């Protein structure tokens, strides 16, 4: 940790609803006063990500690193690391960031990069988690906050939330119910990390 100030950089690809939940929690729970922590930047791989608008409205630094502009995953990750490291991050938070990161990137932020995944890991890593849960006849689904490692959706679990799978559920309705829980557990998990580091 970089002394008193703990800088958080959040990566998004879309609406940034989890990012917004974390930013609001930081404000409401006074993370700066309690932990010396603040969200300093939001970075997206898509210029049209709606979450960037919210971040700018909050006065945070924003940046876009378009993955389509790079010939390889490694080249993209190198530029992304450059954009992140400008903000001297103590914690990198993946909030709907839809890119698989290279082992080199993950190693660079080892122990200080976390993600949220819309399933009860270790069940259903990867994509289409809600439809897979329905197809398998699961009675419960949920979300998991975890440390990021080089193995996809596999790091130590920091928090989980459980929701019932209803007989009438579609992937969309289940996703919406899980997302409301994500907005609760992700800020809490970040706050617990900050408290442990204080």
Given pLDDT bands bounded at 50, 70 and 90, which one contains residue 14?
very high
CA distance 123 to 142: 10
Indicate the pLDDT class of residue 87, thresholds 50, 70 and 90: very high
Helical segments of the chain, H only = 17-28, 31-35, 50-57, 73-85, 103-108, 129-135, 171-197
Average pLDDT of every residue of the chain: 96
Q: Is 154 a catalytic residue?
A: no
pLDDT given at position 198: 84
Q: Tell me which of 29, 87, 108, 117 is the catalytic residue.
A: 117
Spatial distance between the Cα atoms of 54 and 38, rounded to a whole number of angstroms: 16
Confidence of residue 29 (pLDDT cuts 50, 70, 90): very high
CATH class of 6-197: alpha beta
113 Cβ contact partners less than 8 Å away, ≥ 6 residues apart: 91, 92, 93, 94, 106, 147, 148
Sorted by where each begins, the domain ranges of the chain are 6-197
pTM for the complete prediction? 0.96
Provide mean pLDDT across the span 46-67. 97
Percent of the chain with pLDDT over 70: 98
Which tokens sit at 92?
């990198």
């Amino acid at each position: 940790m970089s002394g008193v100030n703990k800088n958080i950089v959040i990566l998004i690809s879309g609406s940034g609803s989890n990012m917004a939940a974390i930013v609001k929690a930081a404000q409401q729970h006074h993370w700066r006063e309690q932990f010396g922590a603040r969200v300093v930047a939001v970075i997206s791989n898509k210029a049209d990500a709606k979450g960037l608008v919210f971040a700018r409205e909050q006065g945070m630094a924003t940046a876009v690193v378009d993955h389509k502009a790079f010939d390889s995953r490694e080249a993209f990750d190198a530029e992304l690391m450059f954009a992140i490291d400008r903000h001297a991050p103590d914690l990198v938070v993946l909030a709907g960031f839809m890119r698989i990161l290279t082992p080199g990137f993950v190693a660079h932020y080892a122990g200080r990069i976390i993600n949220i995944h819309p399933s009860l890991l270790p069940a259903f890593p990867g994509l289409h988690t809600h439809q897979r849960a329905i197809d398998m006849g699961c009675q419960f689904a949920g979300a998991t906050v975890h440390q990021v490692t080089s193995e996809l959706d596999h790091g130590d679990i920091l928090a989980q939330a459980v929701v019932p799978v209803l007989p009438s559920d579609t992937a969309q309705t289940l996703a919406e119910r899980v997302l409301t829980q994500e907005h609760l557990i992700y800020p809490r998990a970040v706050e617990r990390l900050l408290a442990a580091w204080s």
